[in-house]
A and B are shown apart, each in its own frame.
Chain A
Amino acid sequence: MRPEQLGQLVEEHSAALVLYARQWCADAEDIVQEALLKLVRQRPTPEPVLPWLYRVVRNAAVDQARAARRRRQHEQAASARASEWFVPTPGTRLDAEAATRALQGLPEEQREVLVARLWGGLTFEQAAELMGVSASAAHRHYHAGLTALRERLDAPCPNTTRS
């Protein structure tokens, strides 16, 4: 893989990959960086590259989450970084922090397929293969996640006071 291809991949997909990895672990940046370096070492370059990257990131993140769970630090680390999932952008309809909290409250399979589909740009088939479920199951999780998010984001957050 040429450096400019890698640079383009980092620019276009690294943020979504980090967001994807953050569902399981706190050191998402390191995991994505390692996955990208692993991709560079691959001969030949896997095709299609994006699902391959998501699979490597998922495996590493799940492994690290298991290790962190054993150390009982996973929840604390995840909550400490709750506000770092999205860039606060003025003018958007959704609040970044509220969306993060709403996503974090979803069941894992719903959150994973939403992130992979909405920000990762994967197809339902690719996301289903990542998760080890059928495409129809991935579709079902996606719809259920969206519905749950709509309910959570429409409801006023009990922790915030509106003026």
Chain B
Amino acid sequence: MSEHDPELTALEASLRALAPRPALDRDRIVYEAGRASVKPRGAWPHACGALTLLLLVSLGWHRLRPEPPAVERIVYVQVPVTPEQPLPSEPLDPLAIRSDQADYLHLRAGVLRGGVDVLPSGPLVETEGRPLTPAAALDYP
């Protein structure tokens, strides 16, 4: 094409010799590029700003909001009634001792003081028609 046509090749060279008008300032572009490179990017600055604004609005609203009036109300609460426990007919005496226990304690105190001779000589309990001897009571053969 143009490389085969000397006239067009000469025209190409003449056109290339024309210098496009410089329109940009090199230093300004480099400066702007430096500024652009340190600018925070992404959604974080916007999110941070929005949250700060929300916080300020919320605080202001809380401060300016009138206090709600106090309302007094009477509340009736139904308490469940438990049936009364019947009282014992006679008071319990912790010191009350049954009569057979009293006999045993009396006998024990006598043995401690006077030995086994204090024990009654007769059979203590009759078992199967035979009198219970002290040896049988102690399970001696």
Chain A contact residues, CB within 8 Å of chain B: 3, 6-7, 10-11, 14-16, 18-19, 28-29, 32-33, 36-37, 40-41, 84-87, 89, 92-94, 96, 99, 114, 118-119, 139, 142-143, 146-147, 149-150, 153
Contact status A94-B14, CB under 8 Å:
yes
Contact status B24-A89, CB under 8 Å:
no
Minimal Cβ-Cβ distance residue in A for B7: A150
Q: How far is B14's CA from A147's CA once the two chains are assembled, in angstroms?
A: 14
With A36-B29, A40-B36, A149-B15 known as contacts, the answer to whether A85 contacts B20 (CB < 8 A) is yes
Contact status B1-A142, CB under 8 Å:
yes
Contact status A33-B29, CB under 8 Å:
yes
Contact status A150-B30, CB under 8 Å:
no
Minimal Cβ-Cβ distance residue in B for A81: B21
Q: How far is B28's CA from A6's CA once the two chains are assembled, in angstroms?
A: 11
Chain B contact residues, CB within 8 Å of chain A: 1-2, 7-8, 11-12, 14-24, 26-27, 29-30, 32-34, 36-37, 41
29 contacts between A and B (CB under 8 A): A3-B30, A6-B29, A10-B24, A10-B26, A14-B22, A14-B26, A15-B21, A18-B22, A18-B23, A29-B23, A32-B24, A33-B29, A36-B29, A37-B33, A40-B36, A86-B18, A86-B21, A87-B20, A87-B21, A89-B18, A89-B19, A92-B14, A114-B15, A118-B16, A142-B1, A143-B1, A143-B8, A146-B11, A149-B15
Minimal Cβ-Cβ distance residue in B for A21: B23
Q: How far is B24's CA from A122's CA once the two chains are assembled, in angstroms?
A: 21
**A143 nearest CB across to chain B (Å):** 4
Minimal Cβ-Cβ distance residue in B for A93: B14
Contact status A96-B22, CB under 8 Å:
no
Tell me which residues across on chain B come within 8 A of A85, comparing CB atoms: 20-21
Minimal Cβ-Cβ distance residue in B for A119: B20
**A15 nearest CB across to chain B (Å):** 4
Q: How far is B41's CA from A40's CA once the two chains are assembled, in angstroms?
A: 13
Tell me which residues across on chain A come within 8 A of B29, comparing CB atoms: 6-7, 10, 14, 33, 36-37
**Knowing that A3-B34, A92-B17 are A-B contacts, what are 6 other residue pairs whose CB atoms are under 8 Å apart, sorted by A's residue number?**
A15-B19, A15-B22, A18-B21, A40-B33, A86-B18, A87-B21
Minimal Cβ-Cβ distance residue in B for A91: B17
Contact status A87-B19, CB under 8 Å:
yes
Minimal Cβ-Cβ distance residue in A for B33: A40
